[in-house]
Amino acid sequence: MSKLYHGALSTVSTTNSSTTPLAGSGVFTGDWEDVSQWPDTVVSVTTDVDGIYSVQYSPDGTNVDSTLTRYYQTAGINVPHRFTNTRRYMRVVYTNNGTDQTYFRLQTTYGSRHPLNVPIDGTVSQDYDATVVRPTDYHYEVAQGVRQGHRTFNKFGYNLDVDTSEEVISSFGGTYTPPTSATTLTIASTSTDDDGDPAGTGAQLIQITGIDANRKFQQETVTLDGTTNVVTTSTWLGINRAAVALAGSGQVNAGTINITATTGGATLAQIPTGHGTTQQCIYHTQLQSVALADWLWINVNKIAPGTTPTVTIKGIAYNPTSNSRYEVFRANIDTAVENTVSINPEQPFVLSPGDVFYLTALSDTINTIVTARFSLIEVQQALYDADS
């Protein structure tokens, strides 16, 4: 335990700083220091392995009465953190995350610090304790990709033939059961022009975005082979979007591209002829994220003059941990009164980590057309690990 005396604006702590790399699950524990004469502590870390560090406060240098934890993620933006000294003694504890570090630079300084700020053209870290010094709109910044760990996703789709049994709002229709076992995907078009080698006039490459066997973000680009089956390299638990990544002179897919589970054969996605991307109101949330859905739009078309179907729309969430599905939204649309509904809830629909959210429709008249869109922002948890 040591006592600091200051005659300058700041000082570097020698006992709560280190440049010695940590092995495996090694832990660096600094010494208790009397920081009662300093209003602020700033901790900066640079290393090549994920880790966790805590600033601990004590009234007596023995009992830990307050612990403030921060996460070091090599895949993200790691910034200095400023802490207000709230008790007499302070120390830093850093825990490495299981792999040997090749370098480690932990520095702790004490002083009177102004709040940190984010430059006008910078990406806002998910873990910034800083003031954003620019006019800002949260939704627009997420959409532009300048909010680390936050991602906008717009879902859209239709079902051209909703009958008197509940169906998913998707171009492939029917019932939808989220996969519970990861599988490769089998992909084929109904047109030989959707071919990457030799290059056809339709779609040549498609990019698939979704979740892997650990329910983490994944994408893969696949070269099409016309009507011949192509199998992905990766295994999947769900598809959030598939889109044409490269096309010939036709600019879009010439046929319907069907994407099915190699194991079991269930249809997981479809790019209808000429659409260029999937049309399905299905979203798979990552395991270490939550998703906040805050806008929903639904349109029901009359089949023919004189018909006025009534359609029930449901929002279904499936949770893989409990293997249970539950209804989180319902709307009844009577086309004799209206055929379009737009919903902006004051509080978003919250999807838990790993949840699969999809929209279904049921009509009292066969062959009803239902179109829908919804928007959400997915937010990664502080301990998000893309590799686990």
DSSP-assigned beta bridge partners for residue 187: 230, 259
C-beta separation of 322 from 353 below 8 A: no
Domain match, 371 and 234 both: no
Mean pLDDT, rounded, for 339-355 = 93
Domain match, 110 and 248 both: no
Domain match, 238 and 307 both: no
Domain match, 332 and 267 both: no
Q: Which residue would you say has higher pLDDT here, 388 or 154?
A: 154
Domain match, 327 and 223 both: no
Mean pLDDT, rounded, for 80-107 = 94
pLDDT value of residue 6: 45
Domain end point (choices 226, 257, 276): 276
Q: Which residue would you say has higher pLDDT here, 3 or 340?
A: 340
- In this predicted structure, the answer to whether residue 104 has a pLDDT above a threshold of 50 is yes
Domain match, 37 and 78 both: yes
* 144 in any annotated domain: no
- Distance between CA atoms of residues 256 and 272, nearest Å: 5
- Distance between CA atoms of residues 42 and 51, nearest Å: 17
- Distance between CA atoms of residues 42 and 28, nearest Å: 17
- In this predicted structure, the answer to whether residue 3 has a pLDDT above a threshold of 60 is no
Domain match, 232 and 290 both: no
Domain match, 155 and 222 both: no
pLDDT value of residue 130: 61
What does DSSP assign to residue 116? E
Domain match, 287 and 272 both: no
Domain match, 245 and 321 both: no
- In this predicted structure, the answer to whether residue 382 has a pLDDT above a threshold of 80 is no
User: What is the SS3 assignment for 262?
Assistant: coil
Q: Which residue would you say has higher pLDDT here, 113 or 350?
A: 350
- In this predicted structure, the answer to whether residue 265 has a pLDDT above a threshold of 90 is yes
- Distance between CA atoms of residues 262 and 271, nearest Å: 17
Structure tokens at 124: 């806002």
Q: What are the pLDDT digits (tens) for 273-330? A: 999 999 999 999 999 999 999 999 999 998 777 789 999 999 999 999 999 999 999 9
* Structural domain for 14, as ranges: 2-114
C-beta separation of 54 from 103 below 8 A: no
* 141 in any annotated domain: no
pLDDT value of residue 140: 85
Q: What are phi and psi of 140, to 5 degrees?
A: -70, -40
Amino acid making up residue 331: A
* 198 in any annotated domain: yes
Nearest one of 301, 354, 297, 304 to 331, comparing CA atoms: 297
pTM summary value: 0.78
* 127 in any annotated domain: no
Nearest one of 290, 333, 292, 301 to 314, comparing CA atoms: 333
Structure tokens at 370: 């239902």
- Distance between CA atoms of residues 114 and 133, nearest Å: 14
* 41 in any annotated domain: yes
pLDDT value of residue 148: 76
User: What is the SS3 assignment for 2?
Assistant: strand
- Distance between CA atoms of residues 227 and 258, nearest Å: 10
Give the model's confidence band at 101: pLDDT under 50 very low, under 70 low, under 90 confident, else very high: very high
Give the model's confidence band at 381: pLDDT under 50 very low, under 70 low, under 90 confident, else very high: confident
Which CATH number goes with the domain that contains 307?
2.60.120
Domain match, 317 and 376 both: yes
Give the model's confidence band at 7: pLDDT under 50 very low, under 70 low, under 90 confident, else very high: very low
- In this predicted structure, the answer to whether residue 387 has a pLDDT above a threshold of 70 is no
* 291 in any annotated domain: yes
CA-angle at 193, arms to 188 and 199, nearest 5° = 100
pLDDT value of residue 121: 63
pLDDT value of residue 1: 52
Domain match, 264 and 289 both: no
* Distance set, CA 273 to CA 56, 97, 114, 171, 197 (Å): 60, 48, 58, 11, 20
pLDDT value of residue 120: 62
Structure tokens at 240: 């959030």
Tell me what the pLDDT averaged over the chain comes to. 91
Which CATH number goes with the domain that contains 87?
2.60.120.510
- State what percent of residues in the chain have pLDDT above 70: 90
Residue whose entry in the numeric block shows the structure tokens 């057309």? 369
Instruction: Determine which of 114-123, 133-142, 166-175, 269-278 has the lowest per-residue pLDDT on average.
Output: 114-123
Domain end point (choices 225, 260, 276): 276
* 371 in any annotated domain: yes
Structure tokens at 303: 């089949």
pLDDT value of residue 153: 95
pLDDT value of residue 343: 92
Domain end point (choices 255, 276, 297): 276
* 38 in any annotated domain: yes
pLDDT value of residue 355: 97
Domain count, the chain: 3
Mean pLDDT, rounded, for 345-364 = 94
Q: Which residues touch 221 (CB under 8 Å, ≥6 apart)?
A: 205, 206, 207, 208, 245
Q: Which residues touch 60 (CB under 8 Å, ≥6 apart)?
A: 88, 89
Question: Within 188-328, where are the H helices?
Answer: none
